[in-house]
Chains A and B, each alone.
Chain A
Amino acid sequence: GQQLNQSPQSMFIQEGEDVSMNCTSSSIFNTWLWYKQDPGEGPVLLIALYKAGELTSNGRLTAQFGITRKDSFLNISASIPSDVGIYFCASGGGTSYGKLTFGQGTILTVHP
């Protein structure tokens, strides 16, 4: 089945640093989504992207839909301790039509 490669698997950063993570696929998708999961909670949608090349911001978060439609990245600027959690990418559309496929997640740890 379709798979997403999400990297890095984990990150340990100092408060105030910027963070970047990405997802790649061998397939073309029409949708890229980014989620954050806090400990003990379900993942929550952060940013949704629907157009190749689209760049969208949500506060300190910025995500882009790659122009090849096979990748996406998420940047977090000026990280704070509450950014700790697991970040997941998800993609859909294309040949999967409607079904979303999730990456394995990036575990982010922020040291004060």
Chain B
Amino acid sequence: GAGVSQSPSNKVTEKGKDVELRCDPISGHTALYWYRQSLGQGLEFLIYFQGNSAPDKSGLPSDRFSAERTGGSVSTLTIQRTQQEDSAVYLCASSGRQGARTEAFFGQGTRLTVV
């Protein structure tokens, strides 16, 4: 597609259930980011994938959070045993290099509500 696509756009889940959030990056982009954003707040870095390198997982808040990127393209963020404090918008971005230029483009986000 032309842009970064995230699904679902909204997800309501019960506390304790597992959820999977999906990100389809821009074709050809080697880098992919996941961020979390609480209402009206800044971007909280979660994880960064770059090509075939080991991902930078330094932002994952707990071991309930995991992410994978299959075939260097689609990424899935999984939250196990969801808690109410996990409620937020989860944003995905991808970027690619054109010479010295690196620009990231965001998806519309998945709004997760844990009830």
Partner-B contacts on A (CB < 8 A)? 1, 30-31, 33, 35, 41-45, 48, 50, 86, 88, 90, 92-93, 98-105, 107
Is B79 part of the contact surface with A, judged by Cβ < 8 Å? no
B42-98 residues with Cβ-Cβ distance < 8 A to A are 42-43, 45, 48, 50, 56, 58, 91, 93, 95, 97
Judge whether B48 and A103 touch: CB under 8 Å: no
Knowing A100-B33, A105-B43 are in contact, say whether A45-B108 is a contact too (CB < 8 A): no
- Given A41-B108, A99-B50; A48-B97 close (CB under 8 Å): no
B47 to chain A, nearest CB (A): 11
Complex CA gap A30/B103 in Å reads 12
Contact B106 A43 (CB under 8 A): yes
**Interface contact A48-B101, CB-CB below 8 Å:** yes
B25 proximal to A (CB < 8 A) = no
Of chain A, the residue at the smallest CB distance from B96 is A98
Task: Determine if B26 is an interface residue (Cβ-Cβ < 8 Å).
Answer: no
Is the Cβ of A93 less than 8 Å from the Cβ of B102?
A: yes
Q: In whole angstroms, what is the CA distance A44 to B105 when docked? A: 7
A92 to B105, CA, bound (A): 14
In the complex, 14 of the A-B residue pairs with CB atoms within 8 angstroms, ordered by the A residue number, are A30-B100, A31-B100, A42-B108, A86-B42, A93-B102, A98-B31, A98-B50, A99-B31, A99-B56, A100-B31, A100-B95, A100-B104, A104-B42, A105-B41
Distance in angstroms between the alpha carbons of A54 and B32 in the assembled complex:
27
